[in-house]
């Protein structure tokens, strides 16, 4: 099997490596050509292309072009570049984190040109190269079957860690909800460990407790594994600013909960806590302080 991968960032490059090491030929293209050429020097089954057109030119029908690009304009622009060079029966796969509304629209647009489209929501982060990726796939059955060898190679094992979850859009929708759940799990772990740390008289060792929880506990998880490893190296975290960024998928999940009328307070509040960590001005808190002073004469802490 031969696949062109457009976008060789952290995820795209490691996915290309994993495919190549399982005897799938990869043509890699990146907006910085040296990235693709470096990858080709590292891996026997990867070839570098200096343009989208050249990447597609190395493929034979039915051509498979796999996009691993940021959501929004980068994906939209490259998808249209790719579509101009494909023929009926060829296939585009979006393995990044696109909004499922965009995915459904793109699927319809490509379908009008008889070009297949599969959305492959992908989880695994920087550990995917070693451990495999969890893949949630949407699209027509015939197109999913076309890339099944690649899905089996990317997954932790051929028979697990990937699934055809529905039509076009279902893959990215499932991945979006997955990320919303991830927000909630992370927030709960962070709050619980902070509470343990707050009770000074017990002197609880967070590295010890998180390691204990990893074995036989109902909260054991890969997130806990990673947290325990981090705490074993440093519990103070003094060198880290208390600022947590958020991805588009957390926001999309909260919006979807509102639009569907489905209560999702944990995931939504976890997103809001990230917003709070990003607030450098603290204007709402300043207003709250003014209000308390106005109605109750409570003390205002003056700025430095």
Q: Known catalytic residue: 182? A: yes
Centroid of chain to Cα 193: 25
Q: Known catalytic residue: 54? A: no
For residue 80, give every residue at least 6 positions away whose Cβ sits within 8 Å of its Cβ, in sequence order, or none: none
Angstrom distance (rounded) from CA 4 to CA 65: 5
Angstrom distance (rounded) from CA 132 to CA 235: 29
Question: Active site residue: 43, 152, 175, 249, which one?
Answer: 175
For residue 207, give every residue at least 6 positions away whose Cβ sits within 8 Å of its Cβ, in sequence order, or none: 228, 231, 232, 235
Helix (H) or strand (E) holding 82: helix 73-85
Q: Which pairs count as long-range contacts for 220-227, CB under 8 Å and 24+ apart, including other chains?
A: 221/185, 223/182, 223/185, 223/186, 223/189, 224/189, 227/189, 227/193
- Check if the beta carbon of residue 148 is closer than 8 Å to that of residue 203: no
Question: Active site residue: 43, 182, 249, 256, which one?
Answer: 182
Enzyme catalytic residues: 175, 182
């Amino acid at each position: 099997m031969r696949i062109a991968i457009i976008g060789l960032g952290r995820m795209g490059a490691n996915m290309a490596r994993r495919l190549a090491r399982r005897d799938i030929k990869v043509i890699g293209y990146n907006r910085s050509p040296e990235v693709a050429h470096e990858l080709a020097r590292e891996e026997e089954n990867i070839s570098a292309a200096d343009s989208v057109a050249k990447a597609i030119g190395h493929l034979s029908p039915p051509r498979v072009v796999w996009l691993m690009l940021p959501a929004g304009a980068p994906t939209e622009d490259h998808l249209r570049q790719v579509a101009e060079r494909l023929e009926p029966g060829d296939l585009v796969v979006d393995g990044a984190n696109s909004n499922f509304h965009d995915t459904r629209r793109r699927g319809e647009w490509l379908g009008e040109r008889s070009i297949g489209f599969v959305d492959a929501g992908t989880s695994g982060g920087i550990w995917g190269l070693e451990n495999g990726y969890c893949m949630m796939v949407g699209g027509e059955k015939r197109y999913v079957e076309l890339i099944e060898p690649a899905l089996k190679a990317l997954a932790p094992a051929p028979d697990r860690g990937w699934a055809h979850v529905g039509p076009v859009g279902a893959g990215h929708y499932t991945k979006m909800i997955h990320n919303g759940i991830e927000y909630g799990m992370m927030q709960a772990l962070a709050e619980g460990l902070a509470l343990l740390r707050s009770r000074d008289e017990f002197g609880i060792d967070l590295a010890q407790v998180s390691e204990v929880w990893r074995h036989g506990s109902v909260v054991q998880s890969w997130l806990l594994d990673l947290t325990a490893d981090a705490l074993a190296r440093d519990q103070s975290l003094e060198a880290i600013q208390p600022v947590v960024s958020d991805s588009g998928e957390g926001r999309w999940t909260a919006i979807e909960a509102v639009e569907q009328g489905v209560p999702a307070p944990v995931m939504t509040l976890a997103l809001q806590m990230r917003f709070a960590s990003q607030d450098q001005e603290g204007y709402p808190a300043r207003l709250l302080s003014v209000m308390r002073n106005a109605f109750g004469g409570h003390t205002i802490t003056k700025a430095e």
